A and B are shown apart, each in its own frame.
Chain A
């Protein structure tokens, strides 16, 4: 190096060196000596270049077959240039031939090592050269092709042979370069894709020398392409199914790529769509435009996630709802360059969700209404129905909801309860059966009648109905019949005046439930009112009956002292009239009169209190006293004095809070039941035991135990039912009234059979407040 430098020459070279970090690198350098005027070298200038990357690239290029190919092509070009040049430069044919031969050798050397299957054919169609790669690609050695020029055409797949032959005809003459792809069947039977490129070769003098062709195995590329195609088509399919499309907006170029599905969603064809952001904005529903713009802006500026639902307007005016989701790609300088995202048509999903929500809300309404009607006092039923109709009206968005009832002859449909928003006629007229016979006939047959658009939905024959509805100002109306015991008795009507309301079938069938909730409450109310009236009547009848029975006993009770008083008074007068009366006797008489008067007046008091009772009077009273009072009455009963009554009354019982007369009535009834039960027992076996005792802290218990015939266990639960009786002449109301009375006192009444014979009725009564111990 120094030798050449000292001679004033420039030195060039390459170094393999190590960086400080220990990393190896390649360096090229050129060193030039600088001389002064005397021609003496004063210093050197060195230019160094890091060529590591180049070295590495070269190495990589060598390894990559594509690079190899390009190099081959380059080489090929170089060679042909060289050939041309040589021809021009060297006139001698031998020289040309020799150079050509040399070039051929060179070419062959290269071709022998190319990955592709190189072919050089002679003008006569025979092969001059076939590169060894043919063995890898076709399974046949080069020599097979050289010896059998027809082999190539034969291994071309039959259905492509025509195309191949066409290519050969067109290109394999002296004409220009050509390309074709075809499949061959390799020796092992596998099919391979071949990419064939060929070019005629001409000599210096323009003479045709043959064809150079390169056959590349592109099977894998083809397969990959097919796979890609397949996956592309499945993606498109998936997009179609999901109604989801993807888009890619190149912000700088303002070009917008839409997948096919997006075009389908937007109802556009690629020609109609400008494929720009503005073109997209034109499809957005005007009301949602700001929302979309703002979301895009935020995503671009702040890289906020872009995920919005908005409406779009299709060219035919249809409105659909789409869900968009996108990401923004930024370049190194944080500039948004692309935005990629998806669009999904969620119109159906939203509709389904809305319907589902509506259904849920409706179900909630139904359950709220059901709950509302459970256990409400009868008095409030009407008010609650009206409230319920209001809730239904608000929910369904109608102007009026009416619950009506058919009269018995079905000639009228009378409104029972109605809710109308202010400004609307509160009721549908009750003469619907006359005015709208077609509609009424359908309601009576149990069909729902839904007239979304009254005039379109009424059939031509419903002329009367049409006239009627014309005058009503209604837009939509629905009637839901409500059956009661298989007969249409009620109807719920839903009316819309201004807007047309569309009723899905599903909703209509659910509206029946709504109507049933109202009518059930109504029927319950009616039944309760009826039962209550009946109950009151029964209680009255019982009272009268009991009073009648009592009156007999009471008449006796009153008559006894009255009779005694009268007799005593008359006796006294006689004694006085007779003169010299026995004063002691007279005093006795007067005392007795006073005592009997007291006795009579207490009976009368008792009777009076019994008669006047309509209002309840719960006062603290002694149950023992009540028992004694009743006993004194029943002893007079013709049956009563055939019975043995035993009293087992606990001492010092606290008072109970109750109505004396009602409790007397209960005891009287239970005791008489006991008598009746023992009527056919032998004398001496007719024992009625009345007990009163403390049950617990809060209750006393009274028992009436007879020694009668008892009752079948299976009937034990039924005896308290109204009108259930085991007595031939009984009305079956006594026990039911008793139970009502005891329960009104906050106690309980029950019956059980005794272990041996007869049965026991027991009832509890709460101890009067303040007397708990």
Chain B
């Protein structure tokens, strides 16, 4: 099947619940893949897009929270909805801090479940887009030379070419050339666009940095 469907993964050690959840998820038109243990999930094929994970917190062996951490370590990006028999506040805080979409208590109502699944899938879509965009900006940044990167950092702080030239010890004309190359390599048409892109990439404006120097 080449069609890529929104897929919901379920990891729960209770076979009956696993089966029931899978039915419910399927009844809403999502694809579903179920695992009895965290380890089995890690080892398994995880196709589907967008996708999310419904994870039981308390399981023999690797627990839900352990799996969540393990996934981050493995760059396995997938929004997680925790499901618990009796959640405690510290447990849910920890789960949410690690990026869980929701922390649901069993038994969970379908509306709440589908709301969370929908949110998780959307989050997955967004995160995928975000990741793609960040990767794209990164690819553009990677094309910059060291000098061009320096100019970029200074440009986004709003410095004039003359100031930049003084700062990096060159003339205004050379700065102008570098600036044009940056704009081209970064595939932007305006300074504002460049600033937004840099912010996205997590490059600080360097204003504080310059002041401290």
Contact = CB atoms under 8 A, between A and B. Distances in A.
A563 B110 contact: no
B58 interface: yes
B27 A574 contact: yes
Contacts of A640: 60
Contact of B85 (A560, A567, A568, A589): A560
B86 A567 contact: no
A562 B21 CA distance: 12
A563 B161 CA distance: 65
A574 B23 CA distance: 10
Given A563-B107, A567-B107, A636-B58, A592 B20 contact: yes
Nearest to A596: B16
A559 B86 contact: yes
A630 interface: no
A565 B60 contact: no
A562 B105 CA distance: 11
A136 interface: no
A93 to B, nearest CB: 169
B28 A563 contact: no
A578 to B, nearest CB: 7
Contact of B16 (A555, A560, A636, A638): A560
A570 B24 contact: yes
A102 interface: no
Contacts of A578: 27
Contacts of A555: 85-86
A561 interface: yes
Contact of B106 (A559, A575, A589): A559
B16 A595 contact: yes
B16 A566 contact: no
Given A556-B85, A575-B27, A578-B27, A563 B20 contact: yes
Contacts, number: 92
Interface in B62-116: 63, 83, 85-86, 105-110, 113
Given A563-B108, A566-B109, A567-B107, A556 B20 contact: no
Contacts of A559: 85-86, 105-107
Interface string A117-142: 00000000000000000000000000
B131 interface: no
A578 B35 CA distance: 27
A564 interface: yes
A640 B63 CA distance: 12
Contacts of B16: 560-561, 564, 592, 595-596, 599
Contact of A556 (B21, B58, B63, B110): B58
A55 interface: no
21 contacts: A552-B86, A556-B85, A556-B86, A559-B107, A562-B106, A563-B108, A564-B14, A564-B19, A564-B20, A566-B109, A567-B17, A567-B107, A567-B108, A568-B24, A571-B23, A574-B27, A574-B110, A585-B23, A592-B19, A636-B85, A641-B61
Given A559-B85, A563-B107, A571-B26, 8 more contacts: A566-B107, A566-B109, A567-B108, A574-B24, A574-B110, A589-B23, A592-B16, A596-B20
6 pairs of A and B residues whose beta carbons are closest in the complex: A556-B85, A574-B27, A641-B60, A563-B107, A563-B106, A571-B23
